[in-house]
Structure 1
Amino acid sequence: MSHEIQPHEVEKSAAYAHDDVVDNQKKDLSGAIDAENEEHAMGVLQAARAYPMACFWAFIMAFTIIMESYDVFLMGNFMGLTAFTERFGVYDAAKSEWNLTTQWQSALQMSGQLGALIGVFLAGPLTTALGYRWATIIGLMSLNGFIFISFFANSLPLFFVGQLLEGLPWGIFIANSPAYCSEIVPIQLRAACTQMIQMFWAIGSIIVGAVTYVYNPLSTKTAYKIPLALQWMFPTPLAILMFLAPESPWWLVRKGRYDEAKRSIERLGRRSRVRADDTVSMMRRTIELEAAAAQPSYFELFRGSDLRRTAIVSGVYAAQNLTGNLIANQAVYFFKQAGMVQNTAFALGLITSALQWIFVMLSWLLTSYFGRRPIYIWGNAFNCFLLFCLGIAASVPAHTKSVIKSTSNAQAALGLCISVLFTFSAAPVSYTLIGETSSIRLRPLTTGFGRAMYYVVEIPCIFLGAYMLNPTGGNLGGKCGYVWGGTALFVTVMAYFFIPETKDRSYRELDILFKRRVPARRFKETVISVEENE
């Protein structure tokens, strides 16, 4: 005889189910709080020991930046490479040397950036749909094909097309690298791992400097063909490594793939040191604060608290072009225009790149222990001072050979200091701020849009910088320091009012600070308890 279910039994069953849900929610919240507290309690070395593979995979992702760096500096060095300028340039009778016209010098240097501008807008939707790994692999393999165009180019228009197409995957790399690196490591390692991007930018310039220094005495096309061919060293090995890399657990949690996120966390850290279930709970808690029914879109970047976050990321990216970056990217050409002979200019360019690499690594310590905001502001302020000094040195009347030599040496020294200091403070800190300021849900779109603003500002600045340095243009030499000093002063003032301190903040805390509209200068002192959710 079947038992008829009574109403009170249904109510009791529903009550038990409700109790189970509540218990699970409490357990998840407790685990999320424990995981966040544990990250806060870690020191830098302790975090590195707990998450060694996270550091390794961040290193691999940051390595993709070496390809944009290599090609950007390569185009800059080609402006001072005799074999290249004699093949594609015009003769300057006044200086008895060959130079590219101002128009083509600007066009070649901005062609890759124009392609990257398109690439960063492709990166956001591509990464949101496929994840960081597959978006990066697609970029790496497409780059292999685009390099052929530049290598076999026999005219400046074809060089332009090759560089433009190479820029497309660069946009994917530069949009994804700071986001991926900041997502796979704990709080204490975010600064060092995101700043590796600037380190690889410096390494790319070192490789270019060494290669062009070796080949610059040659008068044949080998002098520029070999450096172009060396670009094939990077994409395929990196694509293989990225295939083996774990996906960002934050991306997996956003997609609701919690078991895969747990396995990813276990691959990133030592199983004996990490509690993957609690870490997933922490991620779910943060993402639920940003929850929205619709799929992420670019329109959301301009709504509510995300508008401020988008503005900061875009401003930090764009500001890189206004505080000495273009002098660093055209170091060899700048040294030549400052009066250095060709071999000396290439040697100084190589020395500059090596110093940049060393100082980027030193910046890890500063940013990890002293924070982001003070280093960013004071670094820009001091670079502003040096840029005005450069302008003054170039303005000294040159009546004798000894004065000419002294002012040339002063300009070269200041140009070197500006290039190195830029990679010691503002540049590496930028990538940390970019990775930490963007919201988790919109991160691929925010970093892509922010980098797009970098190129929007950089492209006209390249034309301006080329015009100021080129003998057939403004021929200002070191007097360009007045222009860049003025823009650096503007950046420093804006940074004081708008750049927040994000050191030691979890992504949950940053979400709350932005939603409460806390002023940038009060981020550090504002207390957010671990229990707060809004």
Structure 2
Amino acid sequence: MSAGDIQPKSELQHGDEIAVHQSEKPEAVLANKDLMNDAFDGENHEHQEGVWESAKSHPWACFWAFIMCFTIVMESFDMFLSGNFVALEAFQNRYGVPVEGEGMVIETKWQSSLFQAGQCGAFIGVFLAGPITNRFGYRWTTILALILMNATIFVSFFADSLAVLVVGQLLEGVPWGIFIANSPAYASEIVPLALRGACTATLQMSWSIGGIIVAAATYGYNSRNDEWSWRVPLALQWIFPTPLLILIFFAPESPWWLVRHGRKDEALRSIERVGNKRAGSAQQTLAMIERTVKIEEQLGGQPTLMDLWKGTDLRRTTITCLMYASQNFAGNLIANQATFFFEQAGIPHERAFQLNLINSCLGFIANALSWPLTAWFGRRTIYLWGTVTNITFLILLGICASIAQNTSTNYAQAILGIIISFVYAGALGPITYTAIAETSSVRLRALSTGVGRGAYYVAEIPMIFLASQMLNPTGWNLAGKCGYVWAGTAFVCWLMAYFFLPELKHRSYREIDILFNRKVPARKFKTTIIDVKENE
């Protein structure tokens, strides 16, 4: 295929490039034999390339995917921070109420508000992310969100009441929503097929890194008796946005986004920046991308939110929403309030903070183990077996909390809580991000990941209230008995995944489009054969 087939004429302005792109009929592009031959070669090469080979030939793709995913560390940091505030003695003495036999305790309504405020803001952010990203691209949308993040931290840092702190969390949540909507989509588009699982799984690692920093900071400052025991950890949020902003400014834009906007010359340069130097490799990858984009164009024009609920995209959106929402039902909310959970399980105050730090570090290790796990096993297999494992440990947690309590049972509950968090961090959490990034169509990906994350927040907000109600002494005070509740909700997630979650490992985006368009049942995705020359 000649360079002219790939690159728009140099004398055309940006607006003209888009006009030319939009005037190209999908049928004409798909009838271009040279382009199609390059697309066949590009897709065959991606199928043949293994994980380690892809990582060696695309190191910059891995780097930029990780940097974009690392923006999630800010949501993680603040989520874990809110969970630790309610266990800080200085914070309890400043804003708590006296409870007989417990000392000063943050009321359930304020505890829930602190946890929920950021999620409410993020709910707004995820719906802003799709339209803004479709217009300006992943890079500039994320840069704008990082600037907003820097500004909103001031509100939380200078808050002098629980009400202002809640408002600060609400405002910080807006850029969080943009980060979480864009990161999995960008990571899945910038790396080759073999690396999609590992690179999108780094989102969960960013959560763990945030948790480790919070656990270390709150452990170090929990002995202070003044306001700096929580203001210093809040100030630590400023270490992330500016360095990330500078790095992302130099990051390549997603070639898929560029091709959809008719900027094929820039898409080619983007592919060359992140890929290997094998002769013709970049042009073959570009042809493969253009082929998939044109196939999807035949199904619809400019993407809108309403398109998510039409035809086969309704099924894809439903799977994305269910997968995202399920993150709140498999016991992971225990990890978000780990220190408080340990205390309610009967662990001494100082030891609870130590266990929280251990829990966070183990989560990081579990995230690293998820990389080879995604290379060895399918997405569906990991999710189903990971859920079954957590259901078992959640039931054991409930049983342990139901018998006569002593020091041994207290520590048993704490250890089971750590194991549940470890399984989630190594299996359920990472594979969810991989599945949602692969399920949506390329044309609707920015919108789909945003709406899917919106479903996560819709499910999380009442679940946070439920989690606080179950653990708080001013609520139901269930401690480890909450395991029964989470085991029940996790079982519902397992049932839904069994019937609805397809196996998308080793599938190109073209193949995934065809499988959904043919309405192949989820359990048959793995065995259905799609020829490289098929377009529908």
- Range into which the TM-score falls when normalised by the shorter chain: over 0.9
Aligned equivalents of 2:68 and 2:279: distance in 1?
24
Q: Does residue 373 of the first structure (1) align with residue 362 of the second (2)?
A: no
Which residue pairs with 1:176 in the alignment? 182
- Match for residue 451 of structure 1 among 447, 450, 453: 453
Deviation at 1:385, TM superposition (A): 1.0
Alignment of 1:198-213 (within 5 A): 198-213=204-219
Pick from 98, 104, 117: which aligns with 1:111?
Answer: 117
Q: What are the superposed Cα offsets for residues 230-284 of structure 1, whole Å, 9 maximum, x if unpaired?
A: 1000001101111100000000011111111000000111323662222111111
Q: How does 1:367-516 map to 2 (within 5 A)?
A: 367-398=374-405, 404-516=406-518
1:77 offset after TM fit, Å?
Answer: 0.5
Identity among equivalent positions (%) equals 57
Partner of 1:248: 254
Matched, 1:235 2:236: no
Residue identity in the other structure for 2:100? A
Q: For 1:481 and 1:108, locate their aligned partners in 2 and report how far apart those are by CA, in whole Å.
A: 23
Q: Secondary structure at the match of 1:35?
A: helix
Q: TM-score, normalised by structure 2?
A: 0.93
- Aligned: 1:221 with 2:227: yes
1:82-112 per-position Cα deviation (integer Å, ceiling 9, x unaligned): 11111111112222x2110000000000100
For 1:66-465, list aligned pairs within 5 A: 66-95=73-102, 97-272=103-278, 275-291=281-297, 292=299, 294-398=301-405, 404-465=406-467
Distance in 2, matches of 1:228 and 1:259, equals 43
CA shift for structure 1 position 424: 1.0
| 1:124-176 deviation line (CA, Å, top 9, x unaligned) | 00101000000000000000000000000000110010000000000000000
**In the alignment, what sits opposite 2:20?**
none
1:294 CA displacement: 3.3
Contact preservation (8 Å) 2:113, 2:166 = yes
**Inter-partner Cα distance in structure 2 for 1:528 and 1:295:** 27
Equivalent position of 1:18 in the other structure = none
1:395 CA drift (Å):
0.6
How far the C-alpha of 1:325 sits from its partner, in A, is 1.3
Shift of 1:397: 2.9
Report the AA paired with residue 502 of structure 2.
Answer: P
CA distance in 2, matches of 1:224, 1:209: 12
Does structure 2 conserve the Cα–Cα contact (< 8 Å) formed by 1:326 and 1:465? yes
Distance 1:260 1:414, change over 3 A: same
Match of 2:53 among 22, 41, 46: 46
Which of structures 1 and 2 has the bigger CA Rg? 1
Q: Deviations over 1:307-327 (max 9, x none)?
A: 111011100000000001100
Specify the SS of the correspondent of 1:517: coil
Which consecutive residues of structure 1, in runs of 5 or more, have no partner in the other structure?
1-20, 399-403
- More off after superposition, 269-278 vs 330-339: 269-278
Aligned to 1:13: none
Counterpart code for 1:141: I
Normalization by structure 1: what TM-score?
0.94
How far has the Cα of 1:407 moved from its partner? 1.6
Mapped to 1, the partners of 2:276 and 2:50 lie a distance apart of 16
Number of aligned positions between the proteins: 508
Query: Is contact 2:219-2:353 (8 Å) kept?
Result: yes
Distance (whole Å) between structure 1 residues aligned to residue 499 and residue 435 of structure 2? 15
Q: Which shows bigger deviation, 293-302 or 473-482?
A: 293-302
Letter in 1 for 2:421: S
Looking at structure 2, the residues matched to 465 and 22 of structure 1 have their Cα atoms a distance apart, in angstroms, of: 53
Return 309-318 or 290-299, whichever deviates more: 290-299
1:24, CA displacement in angstroms? 8.0
Question: What SS is found at the alignment partner of 2:504?
Answer: coil
Stretches of structure 2 that go unaligned for 5 or more consecutive residues are: 1-27
Amino acid at match of 2:497: A
Q: CA deviation at 1:42?
A: 0.3
The CA distance in 2 between the partners of 1:75 and 1:253, in whole Å, is: 41
SS at match of 1:91: strand
Counterparts in 2 of 1:295 and 1:418: CA distance versus 1, 3 Å: same
In the alignment, is the contact (CA less than 8 A) between 1:50 and 1:273 conserved in 2? no
CA distance in 1, matches of 2:29, 2:123: 48
In structure 2, how many angstroms separate the alpha carbons of the residues matched to 1:121 and 1:128? 12
Give the counterpart letter for 1:213 in structure 2. Answer: Y
Greater Cα shift, 446-455 or 405-414: 405-414
Contact 2:275–2:282, Cα closer than 8 Å, also in 1:
no
After TM superposition, list the pairs within 5 Å mapping 1:511-526 onto structure 2. Answer: 511-526=513-528
How far residue 23 of structure 1 moved from its aligned partner, in angstroms, is: 11
- Kept in 2, the 8 Å contact 1:50–1:274? The answer is no
> For residues 400-440 of structure 1, what are the alpha-carbon distances to aligned partners after superposition, in whole Å with 9 as ceiling and x for unaligned?
xxxx2122111111111111111111110001001111100
User: How far, CA to CA, are the matches of 2:91 and 2:464 in structure 1?
Assistant: 20
Give the SS at the match of 1:290. helix
Question: Which stretch shifts more, 265-274 or 68-77?
Answer: 265-274
**Change over 3 Å in CA distance of 1:455–1:22 after alignment to 2:** closer
Residues 24/460 of structure 1: CA separation in 2 closer, same or farther (3 Å cut): closer
* SS of 1:296 mapped into structure 2: coil
